[in-house]
Structures are given as C-alpha cells and as structure tokens.
Structure 1
Amino acid sequence: MSGPRILMIDDDAELGAMLTEYLAGEGFDTTLVTTGDAGLTAALGGGYAAVLLDIMLPRIGGLDVLRRLRAASRVPVIMLTARGDDVDRVVGLELGADDYVPKPCYPRELVARLRAVLRRSEAAALVAPASIEAGPIRLETEARRVIVAGEIVDLTATEFNLLERLIRAGNRVVAKDELSREVLGRPHETYDRSIDVHMSHLRRKLVERGVDETVLETVRGVGYRVNRA
C-alpha cells in the first residue's frame, strides 16, 4: 500500500531525484515536476496530499504557481526557498503557503515539516464538537469551514488551525511559541514571522467579511487571543 502522494515542483532534477528517493524511504509516493506550468497543472489535477514548491522555476515562477493554485485549491503547500530570502518567504505565506523549508534543505527537516503539515490537514476527523463559535464567527470543525454572516470564509489549512486553536483557548492569550509548536509543528524562533504573517492574513479575511478587526487581538510581545467582548 503506497503512502501519501506528494507533488514536488523543482527544476533541480538532481536534488529532486535525491529527495524523491529519500521520501520514498520514509513512506511517501513522490512525483517530481520540473517546470512551473507543468507543476500547476499537476497540482490542480488533484490527488496529492501536499505540494513541495520551489520559488525559482522556469516558465511560471513559484509565487505565481502558488497564487493560481490557491485560487482553486486548499492543498497544503510547503515552499522551498533560498536560505536567508525572507522576502519570498513572507510573500509566499501571505499568498497562502502553509510552511517553508530553506534550501539547501536537510531531508530529515523536510520530512518533519511535511508530516507536521499532513497532521494538521488531517486533524478534522479527531476533533469535537462539530462547531464552535466566537462572536460572529462559527467554525465547523468536521467540515473545516468558517462561516461569518452566512458566508464561508476561504481559509488555508494553517489559518483554520490557528483560528480554531485561539477560539478553543477562550479568553486566554496563546503565546507565539505555543501556536508555532501546535500549528506549525516547530518552536518559534526570534526572527521567524510565520505566525504573524498567517495571523495578518487570517485577520484580513475575517475583516473583509465584516468581523471587527479587534476580535483577533494582538498582545504585543506575547501572542494572540480571541476578544469575545
């Protein structure tokens, strides 16, 4: 029985072949595609549990692939970015990527990030009750939907998990390190802005549906909480 199907979009064929072989040893069934346009077509075709997406790609760049993919699919995406290229990482997270791994990447770190993303995307079957609410926000855990004023808010898997974690915390402030460990699957590092970017994107989507921007409260230097007042 084959493991989760992973799509890798990377024009470095040698690296791709090495990672594909390593992932196979970890139980993943990986397909390698080396151009942006072919990768986008494959990703939109469905059937993949997650996508590993390089930023630098021929024909269509990785960020454009991500933008077009997110318009039609919620499949988890891990970006492969140049080490130290913070701008691409932030833009990718704002476009809806779930996580990133700097290149050259360590295969064990990639597998750990991949498994964390898959665990988060599969968490819906393990939670109850079927829905929880915070003010105008209704979060349907089994369907993985967020509804405001009768309309579905289109969230990524990471944004959904962040919102669920905060709502379940009640009025308690949830520290960034706690959110990073439980939602991203890794400790929060001093200069890592991933949680902040995801939260900014989440807040913007909720505000666009009429939710007051103060509902998701930033507690400076600590973390975030849902303000139910």
Structure 2
Amino acid sequence: MPRLLLVEDDPMVAEALSRALRGLGHDVAVAGSGERALELLAARTPVDLVLLDVMLPGVDGFEVCRRIRVGDPVPVILLTARGDAVDVVVGLECGADDYVVKPVEPRVLDARVKAILRRAAPARSARTGVHVIGDLEVDTGAMVVTRGGVEVRLTSTELRLLIEFAEHAGQVLSRQTLLKRVWDYGFAGDSRLVDATVARLRAKIEAEPANPTLLRTVRGFGYRLVAP
C-alpha cells in the first residue's frame, strides 16, 4: 500500500482528503506544517510520495519542496489554490513532479499519485544498455547516470525523461509525446511540466545550462538530445 505524506495546515481539509485517499487504497500520514513534514522526512519516515500544500504558514510549500530536493528523490505533488502560471512555474522549478489545483477531487488526485508512483518504481527500460552522449553516460539497465565518471543524482521523473531522450537520441520529441511517455498523462497534461523538468535536467547534465549543448530546444516542436 503506497504511503503518502499529506502536508496541509487546515485540519478539516486534511481530515477529509486523507479519509478519501485511504478509501482509495493509500496509507496517509498528515503533517500540519512544512516544518513538521521536513522533520518526518529527516527522520527517514517511510514515504512514497508527498502531497504538499503551497500556502502553509511559516515555511511555505515552495520552500519545503526546495529543501526536500536537496537530498531526497521522493516524488512531490503540489496542492495549490491558484492555478496561475507564476505559481505553477515556481512550484515546478522548485522540483515538484506535478501540481493539482484545489479544491481537489480525490479520484483525480488518486490518478495523479498512481501515475507518478508507476514511473517512480524501479522498473527497467525495455531496451537496456549504456548510452554515451559526450561525457554523459546513461545506463538504462542499472538506472544510473554519470557525467565525467561522477554519478548524477536525478529524481525519478528527471531520470525517466533523460532515458526517453537517450533512447531516441537525435530525434525531436514533442512536449505532448513526452507527457504521454514519461508522465503517463496522455494528451491532457500541462506542457509546463515538461519545460520545468527539462530546465532542472539541464542544470544537472549541461556544462552551461543557459547554453545547452546536449539537450537542445527545437523551437516550435520540442526537444532533442544530441552529442556535442
């Protein structure tokens, strides 16, 4: 049973949402503040995914997400009361895997959680092997990425995105194609998920993220992974 950490400061919302998620087959722990959530994660409390409200008192959800991403690959879904572009982009740039606008429909959230947990599972690529792109090596069998011989720490979403590029090196992959293959969201997903994750990935694999030589934008189409 997947164990979720729900970070929500409103007791009534937390109770209603956690009850609904338990009814859908999840084990749910609740933290009433960002500080408490960070304490639980620092104590190595078993958590498969974090549901993180943005508007928290004290340390807000954006900052909690940033701190989680410093050393923990656990997937994060942001719960935001506002779906405007600024909030969404800021949240994704903090390292969130997805976002859901409140009020949350439990079955929609359940579907998002299950999709993320599927891609976070240690499943192996259908085609295993080592792809070498410049000083970058992507081992799709071991699910390990190295750059110049040093392992690169990636979140599960970043890793699956890079593997998708590596297995189709030289091909242009559209945002909608990536949403379907990596996020498992079909053609109803938000392309900002792709753009934000590409930006985070570039920060980890490119010598100059602002001037990428490996993962290039093909304006009007999508992205392509090429050897420099």
Q: Secondary structure of 2:52's partner?
A: strand
Question: What amino acid does structure 2 have at the position aligned with 1:12?
Answer: D
Q: What's the counterpart of residue 165 of structure 1?
A: 164
TM-score, normalisation: structure 1: 0.90
Q: Does 1:50 align with 2:60?
A: no
Alignment of 1:106-121 (within 5 A): 106-121=105-120
Q: Secondary structure of 1:158's partner?
A: helix
Q: Is the 8 A contact 1:52 1:80 kept in 2?
A: yes
Question: What amino acid does structure 2 have at the position aligned with 1:137?
Answer: L
Q: What's the counterpart of residue 182 of structure 2?
A: 183
Q: What's the counterpart of residue 227 of structure 1?
A: 226
Q: 1:191: Cα distance to partner?
A: 6.8
Identity %: 39
Q: Secondary structure of 2:206's partner?
A: helix
Q: What's the counterpart of residue 85 of structure 1?
A: 84
Q: Does 1:154 align with 2:156?
A: no
Q: 1:189: Cα distance to partner?
A: 5.7
Unaligned 5+ residue runs, structure 2?
A: none
Q: 1:116: Cα distance to partner?
A: 0.7
Q: 1:204: Cα distance to partner?
A: 2.1
Q: Is the 8 A contact 1:180 1:195 kept in 2?
A: yes
Question: What amino acid does structure 1 have at the position aligned with 2:200?
Answer: H
Q: What's the counterpart of residue 140 of structure 2?
A: 141
Q: What's the counterpart of residue 14 of structure 2?
A: 16
Unaligned 5+ residue runs, structure 1?
A: none
Q: 1:123: Cα distance to partner?
A: 4.3
TM-score, normalisation: structure 2: 0.90
Q: Secondary structure of 2:213's partner?
A: coil
Alignment of 1:52-67 (within 5 A): 52-67=51-66
Q: 1:95: Cα distance to partner?
A: 1.8
Cα-to-partner distance string for 1:113-145 (whole Å, 9 max, x where unaligned): 100110011143454425333332111335432
Q: Is the 8 A contact 2:172 2:218 kept in 1?
A: yes
Cα-to-partner distance string for 1:63-116 (whole Å, 9 max, x where unaligned): 111111111200011111123232222122112111111111111111111001
Question: What amino acid does structure 1 have at the position aligned with 2:3?
Answer: R
Q: What CA RMSD, in Å, does the superposition of the two structures yield over aligned residues?
A: 2.2
Q: Distance in 2 between matches of 1:190 and 1:37?
A: 31
Q: How many matched pairs? A: 226
Judged with a 3 Å threshold, the aligned counterparts in structure 2 of structure 1 residues 190 and 132 are, in CA distance, closer, same or farther, namely closer
Q: Does 1:204 align with 2:211?
A: no
Q: Distance in 2 between matches of 1:118 and 1:184?
A: 10
Q: Distance in 1 between matches of 2:190 and 2:78?
A: 18
Q: Does 1:69 align with 2:59?
A: no
Q: What's the counterpart of residue 6 of structure 1?
A: 4
